[in-house]
Amino acid sequence: GKSKNQKKAVEYFQQSAEFGNHWGMHSLASCFWNGEGVEANHTRAIELYEKAASLGNPNSHVTLAMRYRSGNGVPRDFGKSLRHLRAAAAAGQPDAFLQLAIQYHAGEGLPQRSCEALRLLHSSARLGPWKDLVLEAWRAWQEGERVGAYRRY
């Protein structure tokens, strides 16, 4: 069964979401997606992620981008994935830069552009917890060590 703490958390997230708080919506969506404190309901989770994203929640944008890129819970749609990643990146969300870099490098839904991918990785590095590792790879790229830079990334 669901723990009392999980159920209580869902209650608080629900109240927060009802007041229009996009972080509450995002957290409630995660509960529905993972079945934490409530029965899993991916349709409801996607609705909540979409609402939170529409209110500017950068983490919801990244979550939706990942879902649309993989087709997990929604129809696969690289265009929607890119739209959500760009919105999250505009808000400074580090994972958005990383995921955009992956899509550029793989050419998923847009032309493959490795240089753009590296620029985005550099942006991600400046913002994220992996800063030192990615900056080391960036320095290798600038010094012309292309293979070594890719290995570090």
Instruction: Give the separation between CA 30 and CA 60, rounded to whole angstroms.
Output: 9
pLDDT for 37 beyond 90: yes
State pTM to two decimals.
0.74
How far is residue 49's CA from residue 147's CA, in Å, rounded to a whole number?
Answer: 38
| DSSP notation for 33-100 | HHTSSS---HHHHHHHHHHHHHTT-HHHHHHHHHHHHHTSSS---HHHHHHHHHHHHHTT-HHHHHHH
pLDDT tens-digit map of 66-102: 999 999 999 999 999 989 998 998 898 888 877 887 7
Query: Which letter, b or e, does each residue of 95-105 get, where b requires 16 or more Cβ atoms within 10 Å of its Cβ?
Result: bbbbbbbebbb
Q: Beta-strand (E) ranges in the chain?
A: none
Considering only residues 143 and 69, tell me which one the structure prediction assigns the higher pLDDT: 69
What average pLDDT does the chain have? 83
Rounded Cα distance between 68 and 50, Å, is 12
Predicted pLDDT of residue 93? 87
Report which of residues 101 and 64 the model is more confident about: 64
